[in-house]
Amino acid sequence: MKELAAERNMTIHQVIKKGGLNQATISELMSGRTKHPKVSTIQKFCNGLDISLSIFFDSNRFD
């Protein structure tokens, strides 16, 4: 998540604000306390980055 934001010259705070996410939700994801986020949460994060879900999941981490 941090890498995607950095690639677009954005901070996580900017992404969650633009995507309409709750700071606590992202904090739990990034700390590993939430292991299975809802697709709607990932979609909001993608919206904040102006990317599609397919671009989000097009990463070696998901191979």
What pLDDT shows up at residue 60?
76
Element (H, E) at 49: helix 39-49
Please list, in sequence order, all residues whose beta carbon lies within 8 angstroms of the beta carbon of residue 20, skipping any fewer than 6 positions away.
Answer: 44, 47, 48
3-34 pLDDT, tens digit each: 889 999 999 999 999 999 998 988 898 888 98
Whether the per-residue pLDDT at 62 is higher than 80: the answer is no
CATH number (domain holding residue 22): 1.10.260.40
- The tally of domains found in the chain comes to 1
| CA distances for 35 relative to 10, 50, 63, angstroms | 24, 24, 17
pTM recorded for the entire structure = 0.84
What residue numbers bound the domain in which 28 lies? 2-62
Axis crossing angle, helix 39-49 with helix 23-31, rounded to the nearest 10:
110
